[in-house]
Structure 1
Amino acid sequence: MGISFDPMREWMKKQHISFYRLANEGIDAQTLQRLRHDRPVTTETIGKLCEIMQCQPGDLMEYRPEAKDS
């Protein structure tokens, strides 16, 4: 999948939000691990993150097309 959570990590740096804080706000440790490694998460999780971090989904993720072997 070509979804990257790099924008979320940048947002976190700018807003001084740690993964520890997200865990304390109720984001599961396994979900945080998935986010760190650009693995799929639910739209419910995206909604929770937007609420905690006061942002929009587009602030958290971006689509990056995967290179196709020719």
Structure 2
Amino acid sequence: MPISFAPMREYMRIHKISYYYLANQGIESATLQRIRHDQPITTATLGKLCKIMHCAPEDLICYQESEED
């Protein structure tokens, strides 16, 4: 998948934000699982994460070139 949530995981580590906290803020466990595995989420969910974590989308995702392309 060309979109990675590695920046989000790093942001969470730096700011001491847990997946448990995000779940308690209304992020579905299935969505958190998708994030852990760099699978797609909706832009609405991305916006909700930005609001919860007080950040911008570029703090949470990055584009990675695929070797298959």
Per the normalisation by structure 1, the TM-score is 0.95
The aligned counterpart of 1:9 is: 9
Secondary structure, aligned partner of 2:40: coil
The aligned counterpart of 2:68 is: 68
Identity %: 58
Structure 2 unaligned residues grouped into runs of 5+ = none
**1:8-66, Cα deviation, whole Å (9 max, x unpaired):** 00000010000000000000000000000000000000000000000000000000010
The CA deviation at 1:68 is 2.6
Please say which structure displays the higher CA radius of gyration.
1
Letter in 2 for 1:23: A
Structure 1 unaligned residues grouped into runs of 5+ = none
Alpha-carbon RMSD:
1.0
Alignment of 1:1-70 (within 5 A): 1-68=1-68
Q: After TM superposition, what 4+ stretches of structure 1 lie above 6 angstroms from structure 2?
A: none
